[in-house]
Chains A and B, each alone.
Chain A
Amino acid sequence: MYSIKTPTLRIDEADLKCKNGCGYFGNEEWQGYCSKCHREHLQKQRAQREHARIHESDSSSKTTVHGFYKFEEKKRQQEKKTKLLKLSVFRKTATKTQGFSEIWQELVKDNPELDKVKSETRDLLVQIAKTPAEKDVRKCIHSFVNNILQMKDIKSVEELSELTQNFYQVFAKRMENSPNYADVSPETKDRLLDYIERYTMTLLYRILFCPPSTTDEDKDLAIQNRIRQLNWVSGKNLECRIHETSSDVRELVYTSITDLLNMDSVKAPQEKLACVVHCCRNIFVLLQQSVGGPASADEFLPALIFIVLKANPARLKSNINFITRFCNASRLMTGEGGYYFTNLCCAVSFIENLTAESLNMPQKDFDAYMSGARVPASTWESALTMCESIHLMCEHITLLDELKAKNLEIIAESDELKKKMQQFPEKVEAEVDAAITRTPLIITPSQRIPTNLDCVDAESYQLPPPIIPQVQNIDIYPQTLNDETNETLTSHVGDYNGPSIEDCITPSPTFDFPAFDSDGGLHGSKGDDDTSLISLDTQCDLTAEESYLQDRDASDSLLDESQASGTNLPSPLKPVCSLREDYHGFSIQGSNIPTIPCNTGDLSHNTSDLEADNYSGYFHNI
């Protein structure tokens, strides 16, 4: 193995030695330890893992209270994260041969918060973009991060913390004195200082937060167990004046607890500090509601202790230590953040050193509570469960109320609909009645009949005029007969058709016609038809005129002959028959004109009616 490694020349002898520094050679397979140290290391790891598992099952068995379920959930997730983090740290120490730039890249690559930092301070970066200040800031960050990466395995956390604090101070001084920052405003300088802290700490979080060289993790577990043991401590024990039953206050308590829990999920120390500040401000708001005036420290500290006890934040000690070590000391010592952070430290210290005396209760009671022999009647949890169910009930009641209101609305609407539905036929009836009364026009056709009847009556005096043309026709036909030439015949047919076309165009003549042709079958039937039908008829006639002219000529000539030979009455009937034949032919031939069979039907019907009773058929049609 040694012979394989020497040619690469990348690893010096120190790297081949056991990581524990016992002097024996280490082995890559044993994570850089010698066999003996590796065994010890494994045992330690196993113990730690078991510890964590017990711890986890402990926490999961405890979550019976509904209201705190989500907090416990979050805590558990965070615990898982801790383990992951721990593993990754181990892995990193195992592969130590990487260059700093590689480590840097790895840190940057898997760090979404870093992008967040950049995006949130974009305006600041834009402000200093392309100035000597920006270049200098970059340079400072680079040298500092490299420095930390070099020192991380050599120096203790405290020394690294000192290094960081020095860096902040030096950088602040540099901004004061360096010409690079000559035209940067004091506010921007302040922000730059914040930015540098935020950026570097987010970058180096994995290395600097809860490093394996410290006992932070054990302290975390200790305080977590301690808080768990103290879960019976109520607001009354602490003399804190939180109205546990007021829903507004309860909401604020939840918010403060969430804020405090959030401390573990952000990375930069100033962000963690901001979480503490948020939490404390919420506590002040809820105290203001409970006390009825601005709360003083006399009320605030007990309330904060209470919140910490109920939140039991994950990795509390690690977070506090991280802030103390790596947050800019000048910000931590002064200002709101400093004050609240001091209070948080006080609260943790109080919890750690809590005794029967500090809760103003007899030692015997305290021991009984701590051992779990006694369960206090009015703990926050029981108050919470009760309040939780009350809260749920309230929610359900409001939900039911809403549903009721909606239901009533629906019922009202359905009633309205029903009413409308009842009204609708009435309305329709009324309208129909109105329409019927409004339109006596329907009755007027019955008046038309009298006029027709009159016409019929006036037969006597209206007859003569048609007779005259008939007489003229007769006069003409004999002429045609006499001539017996096709040319004259066609011309006469044209004359004959002429009036019928005119009939179609203007309906009024058709009304005149039946009266005057009541005897005559052909014209009477034509008058029965609606004007539209007639127009169709004529159209058919017109379109097919030329093709049928010959046939018509023949029929006309026949008719003429019959007219000439026989009496006046039968002669109109005959042409009807001939016409019918024509139409049949039409329907067979011209299938592309669908209205024609209808017409023929009507015509045939009418004609048959007319055959039976001319007048009654006419009346029926109307």
Chain B
Amino acid sequence: MVVIMVTMASRSTAQRPNGSTQGKICQFKLVLLGESAVGKSSLVLRFVKGQFHEYQESTIGAAFLTQTVCLDDTTVKFEIWDTAGQERYHSLAPMYYRGAQAAIVVYDITNQDTFVRATTWVKELQRQASPNIVIALAGNKSDLGNKRVVEFDEAQTYADENGLLFMETSAKTAMNVNDIFLAIAKKLPKNEQTGSAGTSGQGRRLVEVEGQKTTTSNCCK
């Protein structure tokens, strides 16, 4: 069973529905990469706040957001770090994806250049980011099918070759937005001991949930 919690605000402590599922909370850092104006922040806003161009007053920024997803017995808390997409800030990207457990590389299906940029991002991540990083490729603006430039098959083939998750998404219609985050959550290693040596901080467990006081090395049941 997979449930996406529709908790609106970013919370420091994850909430669970009625405490029905007993499990642990894993926190993951997810970094968003992609050319500017491909809709990175729209995607996140849709995922976290369910908004698209109808911003509430409380939403002051879309650069740093958190969202919690419930997966079986595990609560996955995403900490989503947006990055500046402009070419000139490209060299700064390693500072963002350092220590990230997941990355979504976003391109615009109506713009071939953004797809080319996306492939360079993927290459860079595979080369420089932590080896266990989960990379997803998102072809955004799928609602603009009539202006499509990047074919679905082309991207799918590329993703398969490089072992990436791939989905075409639309922040406007909310198509596949939750799905791509869920797919990442599923693929992420929920083993807390992996790389717990402080700085890398892979899946660092933050809160021990009631009923599971003792620390176990493998919580994925």
Q: Which residues of A contact B (CB under 8 A)?
A: 165, 169, 176, 186, 239, 281, 284-285, 287-288, 293-298, 300-302, 329-330, 333-336, 339-340, 342-343, 345-346, 349-350, 353, 357-360
Distance between A296 CB and nearest chain B CB, rounded to angstroms: 3
**Contact for A346 among B12, B55, B59, B95, CB less than 8 A:** B95
- Bound together, the chains give a CA A298 to CA B43 distance in angstroms of 14
- Bound together, the chains give a CA A329 to CA B201 distance in angstroms of 9
- Bound together, the chains give a CA A300 to CA B88 distance in angstroms of 14
- B198 near A169 with CB under 8 A, answer yes
- Residue of B whose beta carbon sits closest to that of A359: B88
- B198 near A329 with CB under 8 A, answer yes
Contacts A284-B61, A284-B63, A346-B89; is A297 near B41 (CB within 8 Å)?
yes
- A334 near B61 with CB under 8 A, answer no
- Bound together, the chains give a CA A284 to CA B60 distance in angstroms of 6
Contacts A330-B204, A333-B99; is A295 near B63 (CB within 8 Å)?
yes
In the complex, per-residue mask of B79-118: 1 if CB is within 8 Å of any chain A CB, else 0 = 1011111101101100110010000000000000000000
**Contact for A345 among B59, B61, B95, B199, CB less than 8 A:** B95
- B41 near A349 with CB under 8 A, answer no
B215 adjacent to chain A (CB < 8 Å): yes
What are 18 A-B interface contacts by the 8 Å CB criterion?
A284-B63, A294-B41, A294-B45, A294-B62, A296-B41, A297-B41, A297-B63, A297-B83, A297-B84, A300-B61, A301-B83, A301-B89, A334-B29, A339-B64, A340-B64, A342-B81, A349-B95, A359-B88
Q: How large is the interface on B (under 10, 10 to 19, 20 to 34, 35 or more residues)?
A: 35 or more
Contacts A330-B198, A330-B204, A346-B92; is A298 near B86 (CB within 8 Å)?
yes
B37 adjacent to chain A (CB < 8 Å): yes
- B207 near A186 with CB under 8 A, answer yes
B53 adjacent to chain A (CB < 8 Å): yes
| B207 / chain A contacts, CB cutoff of 8 Å | 186
- A288 near B95 with CB under 8 A, answer no
Main secondary structure of the interface of B (DSSP, over half): loop
- A295 near B62 with CB under 8 A, answer yes
Contacts A334-B27, A334-B204, A335-B79; is A298 near B198 (CB within 8 Å)?
no
> Would you list which residues of chain B between 25 and 45 have a CB under 8 Å from chain A?
27, 29, 32, 36-37, 40-41, 45
| A339 / chain B contacts, CB cutoff of 8 Å | 63-64, 79, 81
- B92 near A349 with CB under 8 A, answer yes
- A294 near B201 with CB under 8 A, answer no
- Residue of A whose beta carbon sits closest to that of B84: A301
| A169 / chain B contacts, CB cutoff of 8 Å | 198
Distance between B68 CB and nearest chain A CB, rounded to angstroms: 14
**Contact for B96 among A285, A298, A330, A346, CB less than 8 A:** A346
- A298 near B36 with CB under 8 A, answer yes
| A353 / chain B contacts, CB cutoff of 8 Å | 91
- Residue of A whose beta carbon sits closest to that of B89: A301
- Residue of B whose beta carbon sits closest to that of A239: B86
| A329 / chain B contacts, CB cutoff of 8 Å | 198-199, 201
- Bound together, the chains give a CA A102 to CA B192 distance in angstroms of 44
- A285 near B60 with CB under 8 A, answer yes
- B63 near A300 with CB under 8 A, answer yes
| B12 / chain A contacts, CB cutoff of 8 Å | 335
| A298 / chain B contacts, CB cutoff of 8 Å | 36-37, 40-41, 82, 84-86
Contacts A334-B79, A339-B81, A360-B88; is A296 near B63 (CB within 8 Å)?
yes
- Residue of B whose beta carbon sits closest to that of A288: B60
> Would you list which residues of chain B between 125 and 172 have a CB under 8 Å from chain A?
none
* A-B CB proximity, top 9 nearest: A296-B41, A297-B82, A284-B61, A301-B84, A346-B92, A294-B62, A339-B64, A297-B63, A298-B36
